[in-house]
Structure 1
Amino acid sequence: MQMGELQRRLSTAARSVFRLETLTAYNAAGEVDLLRDFHAGRPLPPRTPETDPWLRMVADSVQAGTRWSRVHVLHRPLSDYLRFELLGYHGNVAAGEDVRIADRATAPEALGALRQDFWLLDDEFGVIIEYDGEGRRLAMEPTRDVGSLIEQRDLAMTHSIPLRDYLPTVQDELRRSW
């Protein structure tokens, strides 16, 4: 599956869109300049539905009644990329997405099993995402066999907290980014 097809499916989901993220770093071509600025301590441009086409799609979908949520399963100390991403999630929240964090230290046995990134749409369609060791996306495999994805989503949601509640717990680590 290509990114255009994924975006089309995401924008037409009727009830729910869920994303599970499990890596400590992603290597996306579209983030190279932003990451460079972040590492240099330069302010990042605001990410809002008005400035970002992806967030516009999310906001329009949420406004139409589709529930968007994601859980990033992570561990501390935070990688540089995770500090960057946690700050960037404010745009997702502004678009109406429920962004949650599951810290592996809070439930190591339960969260240890969550190692596969995926999208889950309307509890009927999934996209399993494969990455290489550097966080570069290799493949996106569609599936209608979503039973295990639903279980993983439910497990991640059970052991996660909203981004707004998690950020104060990592404030000192994030300050190194400002």
Structure 2
Amino acid sequence: MNFEEFDAYFDRFTQDVFRLENLQHYAISAEDERVRAFREGTARPERSVRTEPWLARIAATAVAGKNWERVHVVDHPLSEYLRYELVGYVESQAAGEQIGIADRAADASLSTLGEDFWLFDSESPDAYAVLMHYDEAGHFVGFDHTVDPGVLDRCREQRDIVRRHSVGLNTYLAARKADVVPE
């Protein structure tokens, strides 16, 4: 699978898409400028439905009645990257994505999760998943599309686990403000 094929999955889904994120750091070169601005406390480049095709896509699918959701399983103290990413989640949420945060320490089941994935149209006969592969440093190394029933069941099970142990982004930010934005 190449990036164009991966990207097309976000135009194909008809009901819902769910993203599970387990890493505490993703090494994404396209984010370097924004991470640097976050670290230095300077203005970050605008990221909105007007400037970011990804956010415009989320907004368009939400308007079409499709559900776009992600849960990130986090460890405390938060890494610098996660504190940066939480700010970006606010922007994604404004575009229509439902964001949940699960504290890995909340339940032992959160320590047994597998790799990151996207799960599309999860309850339909046409369900499919894209498994995301990263190296130890958080660099993306590849992805695999699957319709294997066993893998889809595992993705649904992990989705349900993290949903049970997550709180909405606003609730998390309100409760953990000092962890997110140290004073």
TM-score range (shorter-chain normalised) is over 0.9
Name the TM-score, length of structure 2 as normaliser.
Answer: 0.92
Question: Match for residue 122 of structure 1?
Answer: 121
Kindly state the Cα deviation for residue 173 of structure 1 after the two structures are TM-superposed: 2.3
SS across alignment from 1:142: strand
Question: Match for residue 44 of structure 2?
Answer: 44
**Quick one: percent identity of the two aligned structures?**
39
Moved more, 165-174 or 155-164: 165-174
**RMSD after superposition:** 1.2
Kindly state the Cα deviation for residue 46 of structure 1 after the two structures are TM-superposed: 3.3
Kindly state the Cα deviation for residue 114 of structure 1 after the two structures are TM-superposed: 1.6
SS across alignment from 1:78: coil
**Moved runs in structure 1, 4+ residues, more than 3 A?**
none
Question: Match for residue 165 of structure 1?
Answer: 171
1:133 matches 2:136: yes
Name the TM-score, length of structure 1 as normaliser.
Answer: 0.94
SS across alignment from 2:55: helix
1:143 matches 2:128: no
Equivalences, count = 176
Return 5+ residue gaps in structure 1 as ranges: none
What are the equivalent positions in structure 2 for 1:61-72 lying under 5 Å apart?
A: 61-72=61-72
Return 5+ residue gaps in structure 2 as ranges: none
Kindly state the Cα deviation for residue 50 of structure 1 after the two structures are TM-superposed: 1.5
Write the deviation string for residues 131-174 of structure 1: whole angstroms up to 9, x where unpaired. Answer: 01110000101110211111111111111110010012221122
Code of the residue aligned with 2:19 in structure 1: it is R
Supply the distance in 2 between the matched residues of 1:163 and 1:32 (Cα, whole angstroms). Answer: 23
